[in-house]
Chains A and B, each alone.
Chain A
Amino acid sequence: MKRFEYIRALEPQQAVMFATPKEASFIAGGTNLLDLMKFEIETPTKLVDVTRLELEQIEDTADGGLRIGTLVSNSDLAAHPSVIANYPVLSRAILAGATGQLRNKATTGGNFLQRTRCYYFYHTDSPCNKREPGTGCPAINGENRPLAILGTSDACIAQHPSDMAVAMRLLDATIETAKTDGSTRQIPIKDFYCLPKDTPHIENVLESGELITHVVLPAPIKGIHTYDKVRDRASYAFALVSCAAVIDADDNGNLTTVRLAFGGIGTQPWRNEDVEDLLTDTQGDDDTIKQAADLLLKDAKGSGQNDFKIPLTRRLLKQVIKRALAGEGA
């Protein structure tokens, strides 16, 4: 691990002031950052410890939602009575990721910022456009079984690894930040992540020194909340394909609410509202589900080893819709 200067911040504005120069990094749970620092993939010259900030509360908002402090641990968020009662898709997604030990340390804000687990990104002997821009992407013709099929570019096909962020995308979370100039801003999650294009090293819209302080959830969505995760072992593995869903139907079997977001297949947590619109107000028959899957996967591009994700996503989508229509969980 490279040497760095360590400094502890006691309030958000102090933290963003400390977070200069550009090579500085915030640290909270550190479960991904320290891993990357040991490999010297991340080499911050300064670490600003934000764990002493008073950002560990979960509060009700005036419009019936929740405001979550960035330092709330993944364990505490998943087990919070309001999340279990009103946003179970979020609890289930968080619990699908990592381990008890990691969820105790990992924070809400940090989870959004974890880096891809693409083998080539982690293998410092290898070229990687995300780690060293311009060096190339061996994954496209290489070991790409876990990697993305949607949102990819000729420069990068790395998948976004988070489960939590998939549920946050479905729930239309808003990310609140503090900036170095003293201002704050609210970023809807749909605008938070960047597609790789020809700049895969830029993964989100945060500016240098900008700190996530809170995550705000709008009022709950009525329906059956599920999170399905297909992976190579039963626990502690990243998703090959995952699907967060909130689905509701009326007494005649018409789908009244359909929200879907996917993990494992995209370069960012993947949601396509046109797919939801196509399914809404239908009976979720086989033809409609096929059309929805066609639309979802219209631009999907396999790279060889990960071609299987295309049919697997189709099957998972069908399973999620049919199971909800059967009323399971209601």
Chain B
Amino acid sequence: MNTLTLNINNQDYSFDDLDPRTTILDLCRQHLQITGPKKGCDHGQCGACTILINGERINSCLTLAVMHDGDEITTIEGIGMPESLSALQQAFKDHDAFQCGYCTPGQICSATALIEEVKQNWPSYVTTDLKNPNGLLVQEIAERMSGNICRCSAYPNIVDAISQVLESEVSNKRASSSEETTTGSLQDSAVTGIWSPPPSQSQLGNQSVNHNKAASSTAGGRS
């Protein structure tokens, strides 16, 4: 008999002789009635099934449960419940960052991991200087969230909600750390990297005052 052990939302589960075809998405929804992760496309294209495995965001529809023996899984239920909303969940409410709500659990799981990625200084495709990404820019948030589709097109409000939490989390991090977090560990190099311009504000269709301020602060930073 093969036994699979998973920790889901801080609770241990074991499964005997699970069909190896079972994805974590189907395991949560059909075996455990953990229905926060949603099945949209079932092919990694929409992001509605996004969950965290050991803190990293992934598409649970493209993940076989048997391959994650011993791993820690977090779904939206583990991020916060109605009586204990996370800062992102509250921000999504405050900014009206959804209409039908079907994509929202995936959006919030994805954004939860995005904040950690920004704190770790991960660059993105629209980052001008790979060594000093500014994850607070609206175009950075849009790019980093491109794996989560919203058919109601609540994107401007989703970006606003994430932006609010990101700014407060990153400024907390800067306040609590006396070290410069960006270039210190990177050696000087004869190699340089650039990229063609990120999408314009009009392409992104999102022009609140704060965003314009953020975007203009790096204008001309490309070369």
Contact = CB atoms under 8 A, between A and B. Distances in A.
Contacts of B66: 6, 49
Nearest to B23: A34
Interface in A68-104: 75, 78-79, 81, 84-89, 91-92, 95-96, 98-102, 104
A203 interface: no
B184 to A, nearest CB: 10
B190 A236 contact: no
Interface residues on chain B, size class: 35 or more
A64 interface: no
A131 to B, nearest CB: 17
What is the interface of chain B mostly: helix, strand, loop, or mixed?
A: loop
B67 A105 contact: no
Interface string B193-214: 1111001000100000000000
Interface in A202-254: 220-228, 234-236
A330 interface: yes
Contacts of A81: 185-186
Most B-side CB within 10 Å, residue of A100, A221, A323: A100
Contacts of A223: 190-192
B172 to A, nearest CB: 22
Interface stretch (B6-14, B91-99, B116-124, B173-181): B116-124
Contacts of A78: 122-123
B20 A4 contact: yes
Interface residues of A, number: 54
A22 interface: no
B130 A91 contact: yes
A197 B204 CA distance: 42
Nearest to B66: A6
Contact of B194 (A35, A86, A98, A224): A224
B62 A88 contact: no
Contact of A1 (B21, B43, B185, B192): B21
A225 B191 CA distance: 7
B58 A329 contact: no
Contacts of B203: 234
A47 interface: yes
Given A99-B146, A105-B63, A225 B193 contact: yes
Contacts of A38: 42-43
Contacts of A134: none
B194 A328 contact: yes
Nearest to A79: B122
B193 A92 contact: yes
Contacts of A236: 146-147
Contact of B120 (A79, A89, A98, A101): A79
A100 B57 contact: yes
Contact of B193 (A51, A96, A105, A226): A226
B77 interface: no
Interface string B61-91: 0111011000000000000000000000000
Nearest to B41: A35
A27 interface: yes
17 contacts: A34-B63, A35-B62, A75-B117, A79-B120, A79-B122, A84-B193, A92-B125, A99-B47, A100-B113, A104-B56, A221-B191, A225-B192, A228-B195, A234-B142, A235-B125, A323-B194, A327-B223
Interface of A: 1, 3-6, 8, 27, 30-31, 34-35, 38, 47, 49, 51, 75, 78-79, 81, 84-89, 91-92, 95-96, 98-102, 104-105, 220-228, 234-236, 319, 323, 327-330
